[in-house]
């Protein structure tokens, strides 16, 4: 019985991870596309990263709430935790982008490197902090 429960938990966790990955990849396309468009027009890392993050974050939150984690909590509860999570990760990610750009990386590459660092952290904070069941 214990093995069966562990196997079911593993399957559920794998399904959540695949959904998270799908939503994340879609969010990545939205985020990077908007970042490049705005950066090419404004040459402002802050503005480009803020607007791209805003658009992809709205999409990301709604998809995770209703589909990936099928949250049972109230929007107000999970939204506050989501905003806190995303603001902290956004500040961290923007700092990483700025660091890589100062190290002469192309802004597009810097954005991708930042996401490669931040996104794995995001899966665990979403699962264990934002959409956790009480």
Would you write out the chain's pLDDT as a tens digit for each of its 134 residues? 556 555 555 655 677 788 888 998 999 899 989 999 999 999 898 899 889 989 998 998 889 888 887 766 677 778 888 889 988 998 999 999 999 999 999 988 998 899 899 988 888 888 788 877 65
| Separation of first and last alpha carbons in the chain | 25
Asked if 82 and 62 count as a contact pair (C-beta separation under 8 A), the reply is no
**Domain positions in the chain:** 2-130
pTM: 0.64
- Which pair of tokens denotes residue 134? 């009480």
Asked if 107 and 101 count as a contact pair (C-beta separation under 8 A), the reply is yes
Q: What is the pLDDT of residue 73?
A: 67
Angle at 12 (CA atoms; ends 9, 15), nearest 5 degrees: 150
Q: What is the pLDDT of residue 59?
A: 95
C-alpha to C-alpha distances, 121 to 93, 98, 114, nearest whole angstrom:
11, 19, 11
Task: Count other Cβ atoms within 10 Å, centred on residue 130.
Answer: 24
Q: Would the CA dihedral through 76, 23, 119, 36 be positive or negative?
A: negative
């Amino acid at each position: 019985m214990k093995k069966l429960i562990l196997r079911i938990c593993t399957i559920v966790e794998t399904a959540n991870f695949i959904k998270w990955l799908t939503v994340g990849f879609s969010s990545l396309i939205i985020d990077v596309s908007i970042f490049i468009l705005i950066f090419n027009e404004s040459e402002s890392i802050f503005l480009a990263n803020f607007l791209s993050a805003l658009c992809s974050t709205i999409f990301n939150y709604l998809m995770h709430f209703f589909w990936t984690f099928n949250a049972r909590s109230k929007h107000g509860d999970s939204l506050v935790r989501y905003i806190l999570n995303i603001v902290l990760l956004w500040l961290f990610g923007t700092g990483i982008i700025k660091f890589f750009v100062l190290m002469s990386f192309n802004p597009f590459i810097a954005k991708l490197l930042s996401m490669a660092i931040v996104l794995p952290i995001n899966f665990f904070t979403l699962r264990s902090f934002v959409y956790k069941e009480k």
